Chains A and B, each alone.
Chain A
Amino acid sequence: MTQETPPEDLLKRVAGQDVAALSELYDRFAPRVYGLIVRILPSHEAAEEVLREVFLGLWRESQPLSQAGGSVAAWLVVSARAAAVDRLRQNSEIAPIANPQVNKSKTEHGPNIVAKKPRSGAAKLRERLPASAKSPAAEGAGKSAARAFPPAWLPQPKEIALVDDRLVLLHKAIKQLPEPQRQALELAVFGGRSESEIAIEMGEPLGKAQRSLRAAVTFIKHRRRAVCGTWAANI
């Protein structure tokens, strides 16, 4: 059986301007990356643009990324998520994809913004927030979150391979979260919401929303470390 070329080897070739290597990386990763983007962006046209931007970004950044030696898969997924959230926030006409679970939540600030009212979206939410509460992306600082992700923050390919091997098990852990924590996590990951925005959407005080989100993230992090066996301490 032929062994697949590791993505990091393909990235080295991309850094040497090898278009065929980028094409191979695209074939391998585009479905995963696009699946994530379309979960964040309801418009397929916008999602396709973001997908293209992400792979163009990989082409442009291939040299420093290759030198850093981090995981290509991690860069693609984290950058794609950040770019999709940026797009969601930049374009007030784009509302997030419907999520029936999140829509169940009631807020004291009006109808839930996620999907119930396609015309209201991140922009309307931003109008209701004090400047100090807005997330960096909400500020529209003009900096792409993808570009602001330094290669030094990338995990090693072998760490990501461990996560890939145990992905199904890890995703089961998300289902184990108490409902308010799961909702807060969903709003952060796929709605691109800041802690303050999550508090507004869930109709909860900021402290309570923060505790829900942070508890969810801590639980998931510890489960991942335990399942992957990468961090024996702190579990």
Chain B
Amino acid sequence: MGCQHLDELHELLLLGALSEQSSRDLREHLARGCPHCLERVRDATETVYMLGLNSKPARPHPRVKTELLNQISRKTTPHG
């Protein structure tokens, strides 16, 4: 069976806009490795990326980076 009827759903899946059932069905279909839909979902990711960036960049407080790097260092530092 062709799955062209799913073509308009991939962006909605990535946006979380589909109903739970439709989302689960499409995820299961993708998990089965359908090459047509995998290509479409990569294409849809480009669209969602572009839509998400329709927002002004903002500079986070420097403390956020310090905390992030401290957290990572604690994870990577071997216990003595």
Contact = CB atoms under 8 A, between A and B. Distances in A.
A136 B43 contact: no
Given A26-B65, A195-B19, A74 B58 contact: no
Contact of A220 (B50, B71, B73): B50
Given A34-B58, A132-B21, A136-B16, A52 B68 contact: yes
B17 interface: yes
Contacts of B47: 217, 220-221, 224
Interface residues on A, range: 35 or more
B20 A192 contact: no
B77 to A, nearest CB: 10
Given A51-B60, A74-B49, A195-B18, A217 B12 contact: yes
A218 interface: yes
B56 A196 contact: no
Interface string B56-70: 111111011101110
Contact of A52 (B30, B67, B76): B67
Contacts of A74: 45-46, 49
Interface string A203-235: 000000000011001101100110010110000
Contacts of B55: 35-36, 38-39, 190
A134 B45 contact: no
B59 to A, nearest CB: 5
Given A34-B60, A218-B8, A23 B45 contact: no
Contacts of A134: 19-20
B20 A224 contact: no
Contacts of A148: 27
Contacts of A52: 64, 67-68, 71
Interface in B1-43: 8, 11-12, 14-21, 23-24, 27, 30, 38, 41-43
Contacts of A230: 43, 46
Nearest to B48: A78
Contacts of B46: 74, 155, 159-160, 163, 224, 228, 230
A145 interface: yes
A137 B21 contact: no
Contacts of A17: 76
Contacts of B73: 19
A224 B44 CA distance: 10
A174 B68 contact: no
Interface of A: 17, 19, 22-23, 26-27, 30-32, 34-36, 38-39, 47-48, 51-52, 55-56, 59, 71, 73-74, 77-78, 80-82, 85, 132-137, 139, 145, 148-150, 152-155, 159-160, 163, 167, 170-171, 174, 185, 188-190, 192-196, 198, 213-214, 217-218, 220-221, 224-225, 228, 230-231
